[in-house]
Structure 1
């Protein structure tokens, strides 16, 4: 099972660990694309703070993020699972998983990123600010930039098992499974049952809980139908929209009664 996650806008501090070693990151096929984005982001933030703030879409209160980006090559690095924070990651709570569940997380979780493309939660990265919606002056829109390298690398990473896609729209645009792989992919929406509406906060929190439940249980669904069965056994209410045509992903709605 491969689980595709969005990053978080807010991130923990880099800390005092050893700096980034790009060659140590997972998915080495993305190395060239990562280097190109990193070079441009660092140069932009080191050269022109005001332009960088405009490009990155940062408020005045987030101006300090520019200096952080300028120092990415020398900043301390920590496992990505510690860097990413926010509602989904708080609910996932990787640090409190038992040893077996942590091994499953290291194997199956893949976090998408405007800067790195995608990383494992065990990959050591510095804290940064660069969303997939950014348009860098030399590269252009990152969502478009990452499509080609992702298409080369991610099918192999997905293997022959289930792909559980929990990304937000901006990050989903960077890679869309196709063909037979799409048929093994399931996207999930979390809906407030009484209103049938998505509410951002508990959508993210519930997705974090879903991933945590799967990791703790040791469930290894082979495909979308088996995922539905596994989630129902774990106590989730799931409605299924099976694809109307071959080569399409499944869409699952998880219904939640309470917003919390």
Structure 2
């Protein structure tokens, strides 16, 4: 048998607002989703007696999350909320784009704490007598994003606060970090803990310990609380 083609199916994509809160909601009616592109502007420099100009890249930017589908009137926690965000020019930090049922794209708030999404378009479209009203929208990525594809949920997770010269650490009595795929350089999202929810950068990985780049950001806490860890990178 030959190698199977490699691809990412989009059947379970979604835009989720107020992610991992009691108000979490999927934007209804969507059937198309575009992930943000990355680009850098290019400058051409010309000189006398040089036939070909020199071109080099300068500042870069992240593109926009684009989505479209069917207008759902009364989707107060989805399409209507996006419109309200647009009117309010709101800075959104707790929205994610689900790539499938598990993996997602989100802001990398560990590397860019001031990052946000902002809705730049929420447009109802037209319909004929036999069709449905369309809907399209865009969210500007006002900061760095990451794709989170490594996950772990366990009640064996504990936290040890560091100090000056001593890094914060996350421990797992089940020694599952390597198996779960966490790696140095990833951004780590902690959720469900009593006092350590947030975004961190992983410095080193061992089976039972994640050493973070931070010092003193964690609060020491014993295991026993069901905690979610998500690891990702750009």
- Shared fold per TM-score greater than 0.5: no
Q: What TM-score does the superposition give when structure 1 sets the normalisation length?
A: 0.26
Q: What TM-score does the superposition give when structure 2 sets the normalisation length?
A: 0.28
Larger radius of gyration: 2
User: Using CA pairs below 8 Å that are at least 6 residues apart, which structure has the higher relative contact order?
Assistant: 1
Greater fraction helix: 1
